Structure 1
Amino acid sequence: MNKEEWKKSIIEGLKEVYDPEIPISIVDLGLIYDLKISDDGEVYIRVGATTPACPVTEDIAYTVEQVIKERVPAKKINVDLDLETQWTPLMMTKEGREEFKRKYGYDIVQQWAETYGIELNENKS
């Protein structure tokens, strides 16, 4: 068992799982908070939601578990649904941010930063 290969395979699969509110993958939205694989083949993943009031959070957790089952022969899978950590657009990957711009026509990360007075550390070159 190669833990890094397992992680890569799981993340690849989770890129096909989309948030119902913002149709971007949960990976690119930054909703995968933690992913651990033990030496004996157990997978732990902590997943968030864009809003704790999301009515399909349990569906997302179920889908994450199914993706992991399809991707790796894990002995045990523990999906921890974290509704305490507040999601912000600043958690998005570069790919997620670009996809959001293509779909909605504006940069949600820039808008968020301006609204809340947050300095973004980006190279403007």
Structure 2
Amino acid sequence: MAEIINTEELGDKIVRVLKTIYDPEIPVDIYELGLIYDVFVNEDNEVKIIMTLTSPNCPVAESLPQEVQEKVKSLDSVKDVEVEMTFDPAWTKDNMSEEAKLELGML
């Protein structure tokens, strides 16, 4: 019998996974850094993540979205993952959580 998991619970698991992924140049996870704009989970447990990078010329522009996709897809209840990159709106330091700003000595 397949495990039944609600989309909100799965969303929480996805956020926990995203918090294990770090920008290699900044010692803060990509979620707290504000690189994740949105996470959508449908009733079929298919996930769409809209994310950005600190700049379009970021050295991990190829590898970071792939790492996000692979790690989220590794969750048992996730059927499929699509990662969409966007630079609109552009990332700014205002996207960072208070926790990230504190970690980086910006508060």
Pairing partner for 1:10 from 9, 14, 18: 14
Corresponding residue pairs, total: 103
Please state how far the C-alpha of 1:43 moved relative to its aligned partner. Answer: 0.3
Post-superposition CA distance 1:72-122 (Å, at most 9, x none): 422221110123431111111111111111xxxxx1xx6xxxxxxxxxxxx
Query: How far is the alpha carbon of 1:67 from its aligned partner?
Result: 1.4
Cα RMSD for the two superposed structures: 1.4
> Any idea what SS the aligned residue of 2:78 has?
coil
- The structure showing larger relative contact order (alpha-carbon pairs under 8 Å, at least 6 residues apart) is 2
Q: Tell me the TM-score normalised to structure 1 length.
A: 0.76
Identical amino acids, percent of aligned pairs: 37
Match of 2:34 among 30, 36, 40: 30
Under a length normalisation based on structure 2, what TM-score does the superposition of the two structures give?
Answer: 0.87
Asked if 1:21 is matched to 2:31, the reply is no
- 1:49 equivalent among 53, 59, 66: 53
Unaligned runs of 5+ in 2: none
Residues in 2 aligned to 1:72 and 1:11: alpha-carbon distance in whole angstroms: 15
The CA deviation string for residues 17-75 of structure 1, in whole angstroms up to 9 with x for no partner, is: 11122221100111110100001111000111011111211211111011112224222
Counterparts of 1:33 and 1:48 in 2: how far apart (Å)?
A: 7
Judged with a 3 Å threshold, the aligned counterparts in structure 2 of structure 1 residues 72 and 4 are, in CA distance, closer, same or farther, namely farther
Structure number with larger C-alpha Rg: 1
